[in-house]
Amino acid sequence: MAIRRIRTYPDTVLREPAEPVTNIDGKIQQLIDDMADTMYNAPGIGLTSNQVGELFRVIIFDTSPKDEPNDLTVLINPEIVEADGVIVDEEGCLSVIDYRADVKRAECVTVKGIDREGNPITLKKEGLTAIVLQHEVDHLNGILFIDRISKLKRELYKRRLKKLLKQGESS
């Protein structure tokens, strides 16, 4: 197990759609373990393989409260098959540094995929977990949460990020 570098916007790998997993081999199992180490170390509540530079349709998440034991969920080749209601909540992202914004999502989603052993899995989730699932599936499709906010807010973030990156280069 290892902690991998989380790719951050504007890294182009974040805009590439991930490929379906056809064989859950040792490489995929290692990737899942590394993603878990990386997510918990960050700390975050969700992570996709393309956020660590691997273009496979793999997501992990853990929305359990911080004072409770970890409850890691692994979902391979996830697909949102149903979405109901509307919720607006503040989102952040390990790949979008120093920014949070309100995003409109479905309040309840049903997601189908397979677990790390290759067993079919269907999750029907609402609230925070539904938001996380939609956020992570977006990542697999090359979509960031900043693509779901107004153009003005997105442009303001891009300008601020440019300044931050410039300051980092000069220090």
Question: What CATH number corresponds to the domain at position 124?
Answer: 3.90.45.10
Task: Answer yes or no: 136 catalytic.
Answer: yes
Q: What angle do CA 99, 100, 102 make, to 5 degrees?
A: 145
pLDDT score recorded for residue 34: 98
Instruction: Give the domain extent around 117.
Output: 12-170
For residue 7, being part of any structural domain is answered with no
Q: By the 8 A CB rule, do 84 and 94 touch?
A: no
Count of structural domains within the chain: 1
For residue 51, being part of any structural domain is answered with yes
pLDDT score recorded for residue 143: 97
pLDDT score recorded for residue 131: 98
pLDDT score recorded for residue 171: 58
Q: By the 8 A CB rule, do 84 and 107 touch?
A: yes
3-state DSSP percent of the chain in helix, strand and coil, to 5: 35, 30, 35
Q: What is the pLDDT along the chain (171 residues), one digit of tens a residue?
A: 799 999 999 999 999 999 999 999 999 999 999 999 999 999 999 999 999 999 999 999 999 988 888 899 999 999 999 999 999 999 999 999 989 999 999 999 999 999 999 999 999 999 999 999 999 999 999 999 999 999 999 999 999 888 888 887 765
For residue 6, being part of any structural domain is answered with no
For residue 33, being part of any structural domain is answered with yes
In a 3-state reduction of DSSP, which class is residue 5? coil
For residue 5, being part of any structural domain is answered with no
pLDDT score recorded for residue 68: 87
What span, in angstroms and rounded, lies between the C-alpha atoms of 19 and 45?
Answer: 22
pTM of the model: 0.93
| Cis bond upstream, residue 43 (ω within 30) | yes
Q: Which residues lie below 8 Å from residue 43, measured CB to CB, with a gap of 6+?
A: none
Among 16, 136, 155, 169, the active-site one is 136
For residue 4, being part of any structural domain is answered with no
For residue 164, being part of any structural domain is answered with yes
For residue 2, being part of any structural domain is answered with no
